[in-house]
Structures are given as structure tokens and as C-alpha cells.
Amino acid sequence: MADDMAAAIARGAARRLAPEYGNHIEAEVESALSGTQRYDLYEIGILIVAIATLAWDVYTKRRERKEAREVLERAIRTEVRREFGATPQSIRITEIVTMEIMERSESPT
């Protein structure tokens, strides 16, 4: 994955989701990031990386507009649902990925 921040967000989301999906989730995300996992959106690792990448892209494009946090979060949710649908799994992953993005954007670099 070319974007280091999207990769970091995917890793952070995997850590947060491990209690729900099992500790293997972190390994699956690493596999997806390295390209060794086949592309199948039903694989949780690939889905986390794909959502993190799209969400980070949406965030970086819209943050320059100085939009409120709630507006940015809604934009991320809307784009992810448009791209991946609104399954319980994708909704939960989007929630965690959005938290990761917002926390990272609020902390000093």
C-alpha cells in the first residue's frame, strides 16, 4: 500500500477489532497490506485495508475545506457505503476506521 497513513489506520482498526474478530485479524491486515492475500472483499483483512484506504482518501480531500468533524465523518460513511454497501461488518469497520482517522488527525504530528 503506497499510503503509509492508510496502512497505519488499517493496523489500528485491526487492533481495535481484534476482540470482536479474533487476534488473527492483525495478521490478515498485514497480509493484505503486503499483497500476499488474494483480493476477496469477504476476507476481513482486505475489507479493513480497502475501507481504511477509501476513508483516508475521502478525509484528505475534504479536510482542506475546513469542514466540521461531523461532516467529515458523515462523508466517510457515505462514500464507504456507496463503495462497499451497508453490511453490519462494513458499518462496524467504518466506525472504527473513522475513529482512527479522527484521533490521528487531532493528535500533534
Q: Are the C-beta atoms of residues 49 and 74 closer than 8 Å to each other?
A: no
Contacts of 4 (CB under 8 A, 6+ apart): none
What confidence tens digit (pLDDT) does each residue in 24-57 have?
A: 888 889 888 887 655 554 578 888 999 999 999 9
Cβ neighbours of residue 60 under 8 Å, at least 6 residues apart? Answer: none
For 62, counting Cβ atoms within 10 Å of its Cβ (0-12 exposed, 13-18 middle, 19+ buried), the class is middle
Q: What is the mean pLDDT of the chain?
A: 86
Question: What is the model's pTM?
Answer: 0.81
Contact of 24 with 58, CB cutoff 8 Å: no
